[in-house]
Chain A
Amino acid sequence: MTAIRPREVVTALVTIVVAIGLWEAVVRLFHVPDFLVPAPSAIWQEFASRADLYATHTWITLYETALGFALATVLGILAAIAIVYSRALQSVVYPVILVLQIVPKVAVAPLLLIWVGYGLQSKALIALLVAFFPIVISTATGMRAADPELLDLVKVLNGSRWQEFVKIRFPYSLPFIFSGLKVAITLAVIGAIIGEFVGGNEGLGYLIVIANAQLRTAMSFSSFILLSLMGLALFAAIVVLERLMVPWGVTEAEEIPTSL
């Protein structure tokens, strides 16, 4: 497996430090008002003064995201199996999935909160609804991408549909599933935040709403940054899981640039 090169890490870190330095300099030099764009130092000060508060609310958003994502993964893969293996189910399930995707969650979120409640469950539900579609599509695509000759071989050897699924279709679909999971995890974060924006008393989205109402832009920025870091960490977790579960898929992807 190709390791991340130290030089790339150093370059990335230096770029981030330089960008933060420029931001601080511009805000100070041009006397940019704090309520418009706070300086990085002000953001850090705000965060450090209430680190416990931010930790609590970050954990809540993380829980909502992870729960919604996990459910979306299970239900998404099951829905994809149904679509691939049954024409009858495909004609029923596929349009429902499409409609669920097309309806804007921002518009539906207030209704969901009223029906389900203003707690964590409704936010997890919105995260599920937002993350569901890419997982279904990528899984179904992956399962249909199985090598037809291998599928024929299973038939020739009198293999059952279960064996065909476990030994051929599912392993073939894993790289595709992980592509879908990477997209879905970022969408799950967005879904949880949409729910928190609409209502409730917890989470980073709630902190952002409060911060906006009180013109505490440093608080908004602290919440954004934590949200981004959380999203990055979740994405990285999926990447690590992919390297463990699909080592052949990752290795092939990394070899392509060197073969041209």
Chain B
Amino acid sequence: MADQQRKPASGAGGRRLTRRELLEIAPGVGLGVAAAGLLAGCQPAPAATPSTGGAPAQAPAGQAPAQRRMRDVTFLLDVTPYGKHAFYYAGQDHGEFGRAGFNVKFASAQGSGDCVRKVAAKAADFGLADTGATILARAEGAAAKITFMTHYKNLMSVLSPKKNGIAKPADLEGKTIATTAGDASLVMLPAFAKINNFDAGKVQTLVTDFPSKLPAVQAGRAQGSFDYYTSWPTWEAAGRRQNEEMTALLYADYGLDMYNNGIVVTDDALRGDPSMVKEFLQALAEAIAWCVQDPDAANAITLKYNPALDRDIARRELQVAIDFLMVDEVRRNGIGTMSEDKMRTTYQLVITNYTDMKREVSFDEFWTTEFAPRGVLPKT
């Protein structure tokens, strides 16, 4: 057998490779093929920013100037998309972004903290993140600011089946509540407890991932769940399927109102290209105003980007986002604007309740009103 390997049979046309020689050169050939494949796949993309050319294919005909220089931007959603995110998708398909010269691509983070980190690391140009998470991220060195508000009334809540008896804040004592790590509603629990005279230490928590919260409660592993009220339509629908009434305990109804999610941008971008940020936020405000005017059409855009969502539930989630957007402050000043009073309340609540912050974050360093437009409102 060894002899056969050393003396290959000669055939017409020259010497044939032995099996040993084939085995020796195979790794080299394989690596070469893999490298060639990688190089072919890694052809440099056409220059990302800026690009010339027509408006994105989805923009309605006749809306965007054909030869406008378009800027590619990435918008990072806070979590996996659902109904409330119509506010951000709308501008791309309805044309507000295109008219302002932006071609927006969307991606999702895994929570507000992750979103701020990724924006600060310049993996995205704009992000949707909670104000509290932005303050915390700032303390950890992520140089990004809140520039525009979208969730004005506090969405933090505890959702539960009515039969579990969580009707008022004090009912939380002795219960196990499902939560994700770093859930804003959980972080603010001590403040909520203080205002409503119950002991936060008597509330047990069950940490799980976001999609497992509702199933964990349905399986009896927890009696309720911390969540944003934008998840209420999903809970209500799940309750109807099981013939079970659900209930929601909103922090805002019991004395704890604060800003939630807004648009974060890096300090560098605010310094380096302020006009770009202003133009984008102007377009965003106009797109959100259109969503409030025509929520059914806006919902249809969300479904286009996320066909797996339930249309009816997404529409109701969007309605929650609209109801929590169109508060008195917004009707006075416009979509996206922020007031110092409410931001100070928010700031005080956060720095009191986020323990173990690496450093003190000053009031002025995590937000700015210089870039959001004023007076943008839905047409009535």
A residues with a Cβ closer than 8 A to B are 33-36, 110, 113-115, 117-118, 197-201, 206, 209-210, 212-217
CB distance from A147 to the nearest CB of B (A): 20
CB-defined contacts of B206 to chain A, threshold 8 Å = 118, 199-201
Instruction: Tell whether B114 is near chain A: CB-to-CB under 8 Å.
Output: yes
- A213 contacts B121, C-beta separation under 8 Å: no
Most chain-A CB neighbours within 10 Å: which of B208, B215, B221? Answer: B208
Question: Known contacts A34-B140, A214-B182; is A199 also within 8 Å of B207 by CB?
Answer: yes
Instruction: Report the separation of the CA atoms of residues A206 and B208 in the bound assembly, to the nearest whole angstrom.
Output: 9
Instruction: Report the separation of the CA atoms of residues A216 and B140 in the bound assembly, to the nearest whole angstrom.
Output: 7
Instruction: Report the separation of the CA atoms of residues A201 and B136 in the bound assembly, to the nearest whole angstrom.
Output: 22
- B212 contacts A199, C-beta separation under 8 Å: yes
Instruction: Report the separation of the CA atoms of residues A118 and B209 in the bound assembly, to the nearest whole angstrom.
Output: 12
Question: Known contacts A35-B117, A214-B136; is A199 also within 8 Å of B142 by CB?
Answer: no
- A113 contacts B113, C-beta separation under 8 Å: no
Contact with A along B120-132 (1 / 0, CB 8 A): 1100000000000
- A213 contacts B140, C-beta separation under 8 Å: no
Instruction: Tell whether B325 is near chain A: CB-to-CB under 8 Å.
Output: no
- B120 contacts A35, C-beta separation under 8 Å: yes
CB distance from B31 to the nearest CB of A (A): 24
- B111 contacts A215, C-beta separation under 8 Å: no
CB distance from B196 to the nearest CB of A (A): 25
Instruction: Tell whether B137 is near chain A: CB-to-CB under 8 Å.
Output: yes
Contact with A along B318-353 (1 / 0, CB 8 A): 000000000000000000000000000000000000
Instruction: Tell whether B30 is near chain A: CB-to-CB under 8 Å.
Output: no
Most chain-A CB neighbours within 10 Å: which of B116, B142, B211, B212? Answer: B212
8 A-B residue pairs with CB within 8 Å: A34-B141, A35-B137, A36-B117, A36-B121, A199-B207, A201-B206, A210-B182, A215-B117
- A33 contacts B120, C-beta separation under 8 Å: yes
Instruction: Report the separation of the CA atoms of residues A212 and B137 in the bound assembly, to the nearest whole angstrom.
Output: 11
Please, which residue of chain B has its CB at the minimum distance from the CB of A33?
Answer: B141
- A199 contacts B216, C-beta separation under 8 Å: yes
Instruction: Report the separation of the CA atoms of residues A34 and B114 in the bound assembly, to the nearest whole angstrom.
Output: 14
Instruction: Report the separation of the CA atoms of residues A135 and B97 in the bound assembly, to the nearest whole angstrom.
Output: 56
Q: Which of B226-253 contact A (CB under 8 A)?
A: none
Contact with A along B196-213 (1 / 0, CB 8 A): 000000000111110110
Instruction: Report the separation of the CA atoms of residues A118 and B219 in the bound assembly, to the nearest whole angstrom.
Output: 11
CB distance from B127 to the nearest CB of A (A): 13
CB-defined contacts of A210 to chain B, threshold 8 Å = 181-182, 207
Instruction: Report the separation of the CA atoms of residues A213 and B110 in the bound assembly, to the nearest whole angstrom.
Output: 9
Contact with A along B83-126 (1 / 0, CB 8 A): 00000000000000000000000000011011011001100000
- A215 contacts B216, C-beta separation under 8 Å: no
Please, which residue of chain A has its CB at the minimum distance from the CB of B112?
Answer: A213
- B142 contacts A110, C-beta separation under 8 Å: no
- B140 contacts A200, C-beta separation under 8 Å: no
Chain B: residues with Cβ within 8 Å of the partner, total of: 29
Please, which residue of chain B has its CB at the minimum distance from the CB of A202?
Answer: B207
- A198 contacts B140, C-beta separation under 8 Å: no
Out of B110, B137, B215, B221, name the residue touching A215 (CB < 8 Å): B137
Instruction: Report the separation of the CA atoms of residues A228 and B141 in the bound assembly, to the nearest whole angstrom.
Output: 27
Please, which residue of chain A has its CB at the minimum distance from the CB of B206?
Answer: A118
CB-defined contacts of A33 to chain B, threshold 8 Å = 120-121, 141-142
CB distance from B8 to the nearest CB of A (A): 22
CB-defined contacts of B110 to chain A, threshold 8 Å = 212
Instruction: Report the separation of the CA atoms of residues A201 and B216 in the bound assembly, to the nearest whole angstrom.
Output: 14
- B209 contacts A199, C-beta separation under 8 Å: yes
- B212 contacts A213, C-beta separation under 8 Å: no
- B121 contacts A110, C-beta separation under 8 Å: no
Please, which residue of chain B has its CB at the minimum distance from the CB of A115?
Answer: B219
Question: Known contacts A33-B120, A209-B207; is A215 also within 8 Å of B142 by CB?
Answer: yes
Out of A36, A206, A215, name the residue touching B207 (CB < 8 Å): A206
CB-defined contacts of A206 to chain B, threshold 8 Å = 181, 207
- A118 contacts B117, C-beta separation under 8 Å: no
Most chain-A CB neighbours within 10 Å: which of B117, B136, B207, B356? Answer: B207
- A213 contacts B117, C-beta separation under 8 Å: no
Instruction: Tell whether B147 is near chain A: CB-to-CB under 8 Å.
Output: no
Instruction: Tell whether B180 is near chain A: CB-to-CB under 8 Å.
Output: yes
Most chain-B CB neighbours within 10 Å: which of A35, A36, A215, A216? Answer: A215
Instruction: Report the separation of the CA atoms of residues A198 and B206 in the bound assembly, to the nearest whole angstrom.
Output: 11
CB-defined contacts of A217 to chain B, threshold 8 Å = 140
CB-defined contacts of B180 to chain A, threshold 8 Å = 213
- A114 contacts B207, C-beta separation under 8 Å: no
- B205 contacts A213, C-beta separation under 8 Å: no
Out of B120, B142, B215, name the residue touching A114 (CB < 8 Å): B215
CB distance from B362 to the nearest CB of A (A): 18
Instruction: Report the separation of the CA atoms of residues A216 and B113 in the bound assembly, to the nearest whole angstrom.
Output: 10
- B113 contacts A213, C-beta separation under 8 Å: yes
Out of A34, A110, A215, name the residue touching B209 (CB < 8 Å): A110
CB-defined contacts of B137 to chain A, threshold 8 Å = 35, 215
Instruction: Report the separation of the CA atoms of residues A114 and B117 in the bound assembly, to the nearest whole angstrom.
Output: 31
Out of A35, A115, A117, name the residue touching B142 (CB < 8 Å): A35
- B113 contacts A214, C-beta separation under 8 Å: yes
CB-defined contacts of A114 to chain B, threshold 8 Å = 212, 215-216, 219, 221
Instruction: Report the separation of the CA atoms of residues A3 and B39 in the bound assembly, to the nearest whole angstrom.
Output: 45
Question: Known contacts A35-B120, A110-B215, A114-B216; is A212 also within 8 Å of B113 by CB?
Answer: yes
Instruction: Report the separation of the CA atoms of residues A36 and B137 in the bound assembly, to the nearest whole angstrom.
Output: 11
CB-defined contacts of B140 to chain A, threshold 8 Å = 34-35, 214-217
CB-defined contacts of B212 to chain A, threshold 8 Å = 110, 113-114, 198-199
Question: Top 5 A-B pairs ranked by shortest CB distance?
Answer: A213-B182, A199-B208, A213-B181, A215-B140, A35-B140
